[in-house]
Amino acid sequence: MHFTTAALLTLLGSVSAQKVHVVSVGSTNGTKAFFPDNLKADVGDMIQFQFRGGNHSVAQSNFDNPCTPINEHVSNQTGIFSGYQPVAAGASAGTIPTYTVMVSAKAPLWFYCSQAKHCQGGMVVVVNEK
């Protein structure tokens, strides 16, 4: 019985330590940016991308090859892609799409919007930049 209680307390402690980081993708006024565009997250934390306005995506790249999918340059990684998420300006908070990823390593994670030239215009975000 004591082992079960101890194991349960350990599990609950690790679950409660998990944090959800919210990143807005775009904005209701048409700004092409991630907010925030740089954050720190621990292994096990979740990054929730909330699509705010316009037609945007979240795609994974790396520092050396920005604005291109990571799998085009790193053969053993598929990366993430949210798909395009069109959101009408002024959409209410309960109707905005979200896309959530778990941080599985402390290494930097680079994401960008693959819509048109949004990335080339600076629509990028980094998690755990070194």
Which pLDDT does position 6 carry in this prediction? 47
Which pLDDT does position 9 carry in this prediction? 47
Which pLDDT does position 95 carry in this prediction? 86
Which pLDDT does position 94 carry in this prediction? 80
Q: Which residues of the chain have pLDDT under 70?
A: 1-16
Where do the domains of the chain lie, and which CATH numbers do they carry?
Answer: 18-127 (2.60.40.420)
Distance CA 13, CA 79 (A): 30
Residue with tokens 């079960």: 4
Which pLDDT does position 46 carry in this prediction? 99
- pTM here? 0.84
